[in-house]
Amino acid sequence: MRVRPGFPDFRLGNVLATSFTGTLSERHGNAVERIPTPQRLIDWLAVNGLAVDSCTTAQLDLARELRESIHAAATAAALQDALPASAVKVINDRSAQGRASAILTPEGKRRWQLSSSSLVEDALSVIAADAISIIAGERDGKLALCASPTCRAAFFDTSQSRTRKWCDMNTCGNRQKKARFHANQRKDPGSGE
């Protein structure tokens, strides 16, 4: 992970689309923007196998618009609500706009090859396509919302039992565990827990 002083670090997940929506966290609390500058979007894309040459402010806006559209559509899908039409349009526009090819490496892994100019739009099309595959229910897993009231991030639950509660065990899960621990201590100061 690339750490730049003064910028919040990235949360890495296994699902590209929800890792991307996770670049804005605590949407219902003190929101943390993890891609506050074009350079940070370049960094995030590089970490996620989508290296681009450059990024303008307008392209960062495009990325954030896609991010919030994926968040809105994934949230609706998790709640089994109708998908918001405006979000669907943005996801489809971004999916159609970029050029990227899936490449099979000699090691049997998939890698994304962007167009020769490696544009942000190419990278966004890969993210949009990833979002489409999970929202359309094509992948093994289930969209769910984080149980943390200040987070409510949509995440893709691939656990066997499909009972995962937190978008991220290291952040939301841990915080909730600690909160519960302190609440219990307050209730029962003599428990010695």
Alpha helices (H) in 79-148, listed in sequence order:
85-97, 120-135
Question: Applying CB under 5 A, which part among 2-10, 44-52, 142-150, 157-165 lies near Zn ion?
Answer: 142-150
CB 54 → Zn ion: shortest distance, Å?
32
104-138: b (≥16 Cβ within 10 Å) or e: eeeeeeeebebeeebbbbbbbbbbbbbbbebbeee
Spatial distance between the Cα atoms of 28 and 172, rounded to a whole number of angstroms: 13
When asked if residue 127 is in the footprint of Zn ion (CB under 5 A), the reply is no
For Zn ion (CB under 5 A), the number of binding residues is 6
- Nearest CB to Zn ion, comparing residues 114 and 151: 151
> Which of 100, 119, 153, 154 is in the footprint of Zn ion by CB under 5 A?
153
For CA atoms 64, 66, 69, 73, the dihedral sign is negative
Record the tokens describing residue 35, joined without a space.
């891609």
Residue 18 interacting with Zn ion (CB under 5 A) = no
DSSP annotation of 127 reads H
Residue closer to Zn ion, measured from CB, 51 or 145: 145
Task: Report if residue 146 touches Zn ion, rule: CB under 5 A.
Answer: yes
Please give the residues from 27 up to 46 whose contact with Zn ion meets the rule CB under 5 A: none
Residues between 156 and 175 that touch Zn ion (CB under 5 A): 167, 172
- Residue 23 touching Zn ion (CB under 5 A): no
- For the segment 68-107, give every residue that binds Zn ion (CB under 5 A): none
Under the criterion CB under 5 A, does residue 120 sit at the interface with Zn ion?
no
Contact 91, 69 (CB under 8 A): yes
Residue 99 and residue 114 in contact, taking contact as beta carbons nearer than 8 Å: yes
> Which C-beta is closer to Zn ion: that of 124 or that of 167?
167
Residue 188 φ then ψ, to 5°: -135, 80
Return the number of the residue (123 or 172) whose C-beta is nearest Zn ion: 172
Establish how many alpha carbons lie within 13 A of residue 79's alpha carbon, considering only the half-sphere containing its beta carbon. 14
Considering only 19, 125, 148, 176, the residue that binds Zn ion (CB under 5 A) is 148
Which stretches of the chain bind Zn ion, using CB under 5 A? 146, 148, 151, 153, 167, 172
